[in-house]
Structure 1
Amino acid sequence: MKTFKLVSLKISHPQQQVRSQQIHLLDGLVINKEDEERKWLLEVYVDKEYEELFTKLKEEDQEVKVEATISRQDNDPASFITTIQSVAVMEQNMSILFNGVLVGKADMSEGILTELIDEGFQGNALLQEYKKRVDEKRNTGVKVK
Structure 2
Amino acid sequence: MKTFKLVSLKISHPTDEVKAQEIHLLDGLVINKEDEERRWLIEIYVDKSYEELFSTLQSADQEVKIEATISRKDNDPATFITTVRSINMMEENMSILLNAVLVGKADISEGVLTDLIEEGFHGNDLLQEFKKRVSDKKTIGVQTK
TM-score normalised per structure 1: 0.82
**Structure 1 counterpart of 2:67:** 67
**Structure 2 counterpart of 1:90:** 90
- Which amino acid counterpart does residue 107 of structure 2 have in structure 1? D
Hey, what's the Cα distance between the residues in 2 that align with 1:41 and 1:109?
24
Count of aligned positions: 140
- Greater Cα shift, 39-48 or 117-126: 117-126
Hey, what's the Cα distance between the residues in 1 that align with 2:52 and 2:27?
19
Structure 1 residues 78-124: Cα deviation after superposition (integer angstroms, max 9, x where no partner): 11122110112223222111112111110111122233334444444
Report if aligned partners of 1:46, 1:93 keep a CA contact under 8 Å in 2: yes
Offset of residue 28 of structure 1? 0.9
Partner SS, residue 94 of structure 1:
strand
RMSD: 2.1
TM-score normalised per structure 2: 0.82
**Structure 2 counterpart of 1:51:** 51
Unaligned runs of 5+ residues in structure 1 are none
**Structure 2 counterpart of 1:7:** 7
Structure 1 residues 23-55: Cα deviation after superposition (integer angstroms, max 9, x where no partner): 222211110112354320011112222111111
Partner SS, residue 135 of structure 1:
helix
* Same amino acid, percent of matched pairs: 72
Partner SS, residue 25 of structure 1:
coil
Hey, what's the Cα distance between the residues in 2 that align with 1:28 and 1:3?
10
Offset of residue 134 of structure 1? 2.6
Unaligned runs of 5+ residues in structure 2 are none
Hey, what's the Cα distance between the residues in 2 that align with 1:47 and 1:60?
21
Report if aligned partners of 1:66, 1:79 keep a CA contact under 8 Å in 2: yes
Partner SS, residue 91 of structure 2:
coil
- Greater Cα shift, 35-44 or 3-12: 35-44
- Greater Cα shift, 106-115 or 24-33: 106-115
